Amino acid sequence: MQYPEPIAKLIDSFTKLPGIGIKTATRLAFHVIDMPEEDVTSFAQALISAKRDLRFCSICGNLTETDPCEICLDTSRDQTTVLVVEDVKDLMAIENTGEYHGLYHVLHGVLSPLAGKGPDDINIESLVTRLQKNAAITEVIVATNANAEGEATAMYLSRLLKPAGIKVSRLATGLAVGSDIDYADEITLIKAVEGRTAL
């Protein structure tokens, strides 16, 4: 037996979301059908608003309702450092720690030759332009993930920016707090030893 078309379309829409298979999509679709109509309307409006009302900041690439974003407009932030992240979720994770008070730059991806992603496919050109226009920036902190693509992107940025006299640093990597050494992989252990700090 086939589902009525409205349910089938709803299930199909949910399966287009990452990590949602047919069973989860079916469960979500039936949950939506059981919701009060005003909750469904509010949910639909939230989806539409997120798509229509958000844009990328023309300076840093952050998601924002206003351009430039609040972080770029905040003159109380350290104007000498720019922390480069892969995506907006990474920016939010670092910002939520409350420990970093500089500026950001969102790449919207990483270099990945196997996936056909080169320097022109991510937000690198605007970073270079930004650094050329703003002499106050003296350090770029690369906060890409510690995987092959993230490391390749970090190395590319380092080679690109160092000749301009800009200090390029990388977030420390290594053992996670609370983890056991014997469960760590070899690369993690190597990075932990290289990034050791004095006690």
CATH number at 47 reads 1.10.8.420
Location of structure tokens 């700090």: 197
In a domain, 49, yes or no: yes
24 and 88 part of one domain: no
Nearest to 80 by CA among 169, 20, 199: 169
Domain that holds residue 108: 76-170
Measured CA to CA, the distance from residue 127 to residue 132 in angstroms comes to: 9
What is d(CA 105, CA 68) in angstroms, rounded to the nearest whole number? 12
Written as tens digits, the pLDDT of the chain (199 aa) is 789 999 999 999 999 999 999 999 999 999 999 999 999 999 999 999 999 999 999 999 999 999 999 999 999 999 999 999 999 999 999 999 899 999 999 999 999 988 889 999 999 999 999 999 998 999 999 999 888 899 999 999 999 999 989 999 998 877 777 777 777 778 778 877 877 766 6
Residues 30 and 88 both lie in one domain: no
Contact 104, 62 (CB under 8 A): yes
* 100 and 16 fall within a common domain: no
- 104 and 148: one domain? yes
Between the alpha carbon of residue 173 and those of residues 50, 52, 189, 193, the distances in Å are 34, 37, 9, 10
Pairing relationship of beta strands 139-143 and 81-85 according to DSSP bridges: parallel
164 in the same domain as 107: yes
CATH number at residue 115: 3.40.1360.10
Asked if the structure places residue 197 within a domain, the reply is: no
Q: Contact, 72 vs 57, CB < 8 A?
A: yes
Pairing of strands 139-143, 167-170: parallel
- Within-domain flag for 84: yes
Q: What is the pTM of this model?
A: 0.84
* CB of 82 closer than 8 Å to CB of 135: no
Looking at the fold, whether 105 and 146 belong to one and the same domain comes out as: yes
State the total domains in the chain: 2
